[in-house]
Amino acid sequence: MEQIRGESGRFLRQHKRWSLDNFDDGFVDAKGRFRVCFPEHPRAAKNGYVLRAIVAYEAYHGIMVSRNMRIHHEDGNTLDDTPENLVLLSDSEHQKRHAYMNGLIIKKTCLHCGKSFEINKWRLRNPSRGKFCSLLCFHRYGVSHQTRQKRSRSVTTSWNNPLTRENRIKGMKRASGACVDCGTIPISYARRNPPLCMSCYQKRWRKKGRS
């Protein structure tokens, strides 16, 4: 067959219009997919070529494949366009199917509810992800974890330290309205924050004056 050059000087591909009779009349592109000549197809490129998997599926089932649908190869071989190897999927389903085939989706266990869930590996680059099955479990675990930490700190730190214990007792007295120094509930306060009766307030004032 004589080679014909185009306007750019390159040789033009010479293939007949595709049909089931000339099934293998085409070429393999850089991505390893087989393309055939079908200029009148709505999904054809400017050079008139389209993926053989699309036109083959349409010829087998007698339907048109829309632009938001993808043709999936069950065995992973993009050159095998037999009827039992082609499956029509949506774009999201196709991406998920390939993620399963390539091992990009793994199973994890939620820290809060203990349920197993699936997550993409690329999301695990962020250390805060991949630990919870939902945003609700993330917030619930955060609240419960903070309360557990506060309780453990109050038990291990506050009550074991005598200075902190005194401050806690003073805080309890302050909440009840009792004088911080003597512990009695006065009729009239000299100070409200912290609560002091008149006698204790005068004692503190005298100590400051002497110093």
Query: Using an 8 Å Cβ cutoff, are 71 and 64 in contact?
Result: no
Identify whether 98 is part of a domain.
no
Identify whether 10 is part of a domain.
no
Report d(CA 124, CA 148) in Å as an integer: 26
The pLDDT tens digits for 140-191 are 777 666 666 665 555 444 445 555 556 555 555 555 567 777 777 665 666 6
Identify whether 127 is part of a domain.
yes
Does one domain contain both 172 and 206? yes
Does one domain contain both 73 and 36? yes
* pLDDT tens, residue order, the chain (211 aa): 444 444 555 545 677 888 888 898 888 888 889 999 998 999 988 888 999 999 999 999 999 999 899 999 998 899 999 999 999 999 989 988 888 888 888 888 888 888 888 888 877 776 667 788 888 887 777 766 666 666 555 544 444 555 555 655 555 555 556 777 777 766 566 666 677 777 887 887 777 765 4
Q: Note the pLDDT of residue 210.
A: 58
Specify the amino acid at residue 147: T
Can the peptide bond before residue 194 be classed as cis, meaning omega within 30 degrees of 0?
yes
Query: Using an 8 Å Cβ cutoff, are 148 and 154 in contact?
Result: no
Identify whether 35 is part of a domain.
yes
Q: Note the pLDDT of residue 130.
A: 78
Which of 89, 121, 141 represents a domain boundary (last residue)?
89
Where in the sequence is the domain holding 140, given as residue range(s)?
Answer: 105-156
Number of domains in the chain: 3
Evaluate if pTM is beyond 0.85: no
Does one domain contain both 112 and 80? no
Does one domain contain both 85 and 111? no
Q: Note the pLDDT of residue 97.
A: 86
Q: Which long-range contacts (CB under 8 A, 24 or more apart) does 92-101 make?
A: 94/70, 97/72, 101/76
